Amino acid sequence: GAGVSQSPSNKVTEKGKDVELRCDPISGHTALYWYRQSLGQGLEFLIYFQGNSAPDKSGLPSDRFSAERTGGSVSTLTIQRTQQEDSAVYLCASSQTSGRGNEQFFGPGTRLTVL
């Protein structure tokens, strides 16, 4: 596609429920990233996928968070047993890994609200 797409755009859930957020990267981009943007805070790195390599999960805040990337393309971020502090905008980005800059291009985000 022309850009990174994410779904749903908005998700409201009850505390304790599981949620899945989806990201479809730019075609041909081998690297995919998830970030979280909480109200009034900067973007916080969550996880990074590069090709078939093991993902860098160093930014995941707890074991309730997990992500997978199937076929080197679409990625799903799963949050189990959601808590109110998980409320944030979840942003996905993709990039090419060749070249110097590795510029990351972001999707529109999924706004998650945990009641």
Task: Tell me which DSSP letter residue 84 carries.
Answer: G
Compute and round to an integer the Cα radius of gyration of the chain.
Answer: 14
The nearer residue to another protein, 16 or 51, going by C-beta atoms, is 51
Query: Nearest distance from residue 85's CB to another protein, in Å?
Result: 19
Which parts of 49-106 fold into alpha helices (H)?
Answer: none
Query: Nearest distance from residue 31's CB to another protein, in Å?
Result: 6
The nearer residue to another protein, 64 or 106, going by C-beta atoms, is 106
Query: Nearest distance from residue 107's CB to another protein, in Å?
Result: 5
Q: Give me 106's structure tokens.
A: 């972001």
CB 94 within 8 A of CB 2: no
Query: Nearest distance from residue 92's CB to another protein, in Å?
Result: 8
The nearer residue to another protein, 8 or 16, going by C-beta atoms, is 8
* Residues in touch with another protein (CB under 8 A): 4, 31, 33, 35, 41-45, 48, 50, 56, 59, 91, 93, 95, 97, 100-109
